[in-house]
Amino acid sequence: MAEVEINKQAKLSQHFTLGELTKTSAKGIDNTPSHAAVLNLKNLCENWLEELRYSYNLLYCLQPGEDYETSKNVKPLLINSGFRSEAVNKAIGGVKGSNHLTGCAVDIHVTGPEQAIRYACILLDISAKYERDYDELLIERSPKGAYWVHFAVRLKDNRRKVRFMQT
């Protein structure tokens, strides 16, 4: 497949770019998403990640009366991994059939288990408040002790799978 240039600065939502959601540690491997995968990433960003970012900051970062849009205390939501091409997924040891392959999943960076639990609770609240379905909400931990939240939303057949796991 010929490598296609994508605009890494293209906005998927107010605070998330395509570059953030397609970055990879697998150097030299094409990680260009399809149009459908970009739409799936956009859905994740607009309907879940923006609300997660806002709610987390409101609850844990801002002082009473501080404005979300102008405060210097607002913390970004950092994405470890979003879309993965088949080649990237294989190179990094990703699960076969991963939701990352279709742009339906993100791995969200956290500073530890407490932040992971807070993010997970907020995502569950978003699901309940807006009656939105999700496929996977996993708090994962590497053997070296790093934590992240894996979150996935499919267009259909969402399983509402919630797990705490060590990889």
- Which helix H or strand E contains 41, and what residues bound it? helix 35-44
CB 151 within 8 A of CB 126: no
Radius of gyration of the chain (CA): 16
From first to last of its 167 residues, the chain has per-residue pLDDT tens of 344 456 888 999 999 999 999 999 999 999 999 999 999 999 999 999 999 999 999 999 999 999 999 999 999 999 999 999 999 999 999 999 999 999 999 999 999 999 999 999 999 999 999 999 999 999 999 999 999 999 999 999 999 999 998 66
Predicted confidence at residue 73, as pLDDT, reads 96
CATH class, range 18-166: alpha beta
Predicted confidence at residue 79, as pLDDT, reads 98
Q: Name every residue whose Cβ is closer than 8 Å to that of residue 85 and which is 6 or more positions away in sequence.
A: 29, 30, 31, 32, 33, 101
Predicted confidence at residue 3, as pLDDT, reads 44
Task: Pick left, alpha or beta for residue 3 (phi over 0 → left; psi -120 to 50 → alpha; otherwise beta).
Answer: beta
For residue 35 the two structure tokens come to 């149009």
Q: Strand, helix or coil at 148?
A: strand
Buried b (16+ CB within 10 A) or exposed e, 91-110: beebeeebbbbbbbbbbbbb
Predicted confidence at residue 2, as pLDDT, reads 40
For residue 15 the two structure tokens come to 């605070």
| Distance separating alpha carbons of residues 84 and 71, to the nearest angstrom | 33
The pTM assigned to this predicted structure is 0.93
Predicted confidence at residue 4, as pLDDT, reads 47
